[in-house]
Structure 1
C-alpha cells in the first residue's frame, strides 16, 4: 500500500506541476499570435474603413468628410449601368465553368497516387504543380507564343499538316474566351489543387484498403468505395469556399488577356471595378460595386453552407 500511496503522491505532484505551467504556456501562445492578429487587423479589417468612400462624392486629394454626402447614389448608378449585366454574365459564366472542372483535381489526385512508379509519380506531380508558381505575365507570353494568329506554334503546326486553311486566332475570338480562360486556369491550378486531395487520400486509414483487398475488392472498387467517400468532406469544403467566391474570378488573368475584340466576353467584375475606379477615376462607384460584391459573396457562402448542413449534415462553420 505504501508503494501505491507513493505512486499517487508522485502523480499528484506531477499534475500540480504541469497545471502550474499552463498559464505561462497560454500566455506564450497568445504572445505568438499577437503579430498575426495585428497583421490581420491592419491588412484585412482596417481597409474596410475605405468603404465609406462609396457614400461620399469623393475625389482623390480632398478630405473625405468635406466631400458632399452621396448616400446610396453610387449604388443606384451601378445598378443603372447597362454594362453591369454583361459583366455579371461573364463573371458567373466563367465561375460556373470553373466549378464544373473542379472535380478534375480529385480525379488527377486519385490517378496520380495509383501510379506504381514513385519516380514517375513525383515527376508528374512536380511538372503539374510548377505552373501555379508562374506569373500570369509569363502565362500570357506562353499563350501568345502558342496561339497567336501570326507566328503561333499551333497555327504553324496545323497549317503544315493542312488541317486548316487560314490561321486561327483564339486570343481574339469572343466565342472562345470562356472555354479558353477556363482551360488556362485549369492547367495552371490543376497540380496545386490536387495537393490538398493527395493529403486527404494519404490520411485515409490504410486498414480499410487492406480489408477491402482481403475481401477481393479490385482497384476500381477500392477507389469507388473508400477513396471517393474519404475525399468528399474535403471536396465539399473547397466547393463551398468556391461558391463564396463566385463573383471573384481574379484580376490579373483577365487584365492581361483583355483586348478590344474580346472585351465584351472577358470583362469580369474585378476588371470592371478596376476600369471604373482607375481608368475613369470614379472611386466611389468602384468602391460601391466592390462593397456589394463582398456582401453578396458572404451571403452566397452562408447560403451554400446552410444547404450543405441540411443535406449532408456537413458545414464549414
Structure 2
C-alpha cells in the first residue's frame, strides 16, 4: 500500500521536473494549440457524415440519415478500386522509401571524405523542398516521348527501338509513383537514420575490427541491429499514412489512360464528393480513412510489442 509520504515525494519530483523543464514546456504550447485547433476541433465536422448536409444551415439543423452515406460508400464499386490503388501505392512507397533511405544512410556513413559526404547528402535531400507542382513536371519531362531523358538513354543503349509512353501504361503508374517518391524523399529520410547511426557506440566497431570484421559485416551485425528501434518506430508511424498515399503527386501525374490506377482516396473525395457537392459522402470517406489508419497504427504497435521490438508506447 502506498504511503502518503511516497505519494508526496512522487508529486514533488514531478513538479520539480516541470520546473526544471519549464522552458521546453512553454515552447511546446504553440504546437499543442495548433494541433488542438487544426486536428481536434474539425472532428466536430464528422457529424456531416451522418446527415444529408447542405451549406447554409447549421450543422445541427441538417437532415439526419444515419449510416446511409457509409452504405453508399461500401456499395460503390469505385471505392474498392480506390482502396486497391491506395494500398498498392502506399506499400510500394513505404517499402521502397524505407529501404532506399536506410541504404543511403549506410553508404553515407561509410564515406570518409567529409566534403564528399556533405555534398551527396545536400544533393539528395534538396528535392524534398521542391513542390510537387514542380517535381511532377520534372517527372513528366523525364518520361516524355519527345526528348525525355529516360527514353533517350534507353534508345541510345539500344534497349528500346522507339519511345515508350510510360505515363500512358496503367501497370507502370504505381511504380512511377514509387520511384519518383524515392527520388524526392530519400535524402530527407536518410537524415533520421544517419542520426541514429551517429549515436552508436564507436567501441563496438573497434571490437569488430579487432575480430576481423570488414565493413559489410560491421553494417550487418552492428549498424543495422543498432538502428532497428528507429526503423520499428518509423514503420509504426508510417502505418498511419497507408490510406493517405498522397494527393498532389497522383493528381498531377494522372491522365485519362491511367485514371483507374491513379485514383486514391483523396482524389476520390474530391471527384465523387466535393465536386459533386456530396459533402456528407466526402466526410464519410474521410472518417473511414481515419478509423482504419488508427486501427493500423495500434495493430502495428501491438505486433511490435509481441515481437519484442521498439514501439510507440
Measure the CA separation in 1 of the matches of 2:18 and 2:235.
39
Alpha-carbon distance change, 59 to 199 in structure 1, aligned in 2, over 3 angstroms: same
Q: How far apart are 1:306 and its partner, in Å? A: 0.5
Residue number among 34, 40, 51 corresponding to 1:45 in the alignment = 40
Q: How far apart are 1:155 and its partner, in Å? A: 3.2
Residue number among 212, 216, 220 corresponding to 1:216 in the alignment = 212
Match of 1:59 in 2: 54
Q: What are the ranges of 5 or more consecutive residues in structure 2 without an aligned counterpart?
A: 1-13
Q: How far apart are 1:92 and its partner, in Å? A: 0.7
Alpha-carbon distance change, 25 to 250 in structure 1, aligned in 2, over 3 angstroms: same
Measure the CA separation in 2 of the matches of 1:168 and 1:63.
53
Does the alignment pair 1:226 with 2:218?
Answer: no
Q: How many residue pairs were aligned?
A: 299
Deviations 1:50-94 (A, max 9, x none): 111111111123322222111111011000111011111111111
Match of 1:13 in 2: none
TM-score by length of 2: 0.89
What is the DSSP-based 3-state SS (H/G/I as helix, E as strand, rest coil) of the residue aligned with 1:149?
coil
**8 Å contact from structure 1 (residues 276, 283) kept in 2:** no
TM-score by length of 1: 0.88
Measure the CA separation in 2 of the matches of 1:162 and 1:104.
28
Q: How far apart are 1:211 and its partner, in Å? A: 1.8
Alpha-carbon distance change, 151 to 28 in structure 1, aligned in 2, over 3 angstroms: closer
Instruction: Within 5 Å, give how 1:161-200 maps onto structure 2.
Output: 163-200=159-196
Instruction: Within 5 Å, give how 1:104-253 maps onto structure 2.
Output: 104-159=100-155, 163-253=159-249
Deviates more, 1:59-68 or 1:69-78: 59-68
Measure the CA separation in 1 of the matches of 2:114 and 2:25.
42
Deviations 1:25-46 (A, max 9, x none): 5666554443332222111110
Larger Rg computed on CA atoms: 1
Cα RMSD for the two superposed structures: 2.1
Q: What are the ranges of 5 or more consecutive residues in structure 1 without an aligned counterpart?
A: 1-18
Alpha-carbon distance change, 31 to 140 in structure 1, aligned in 2, over 3 angstroms: closer
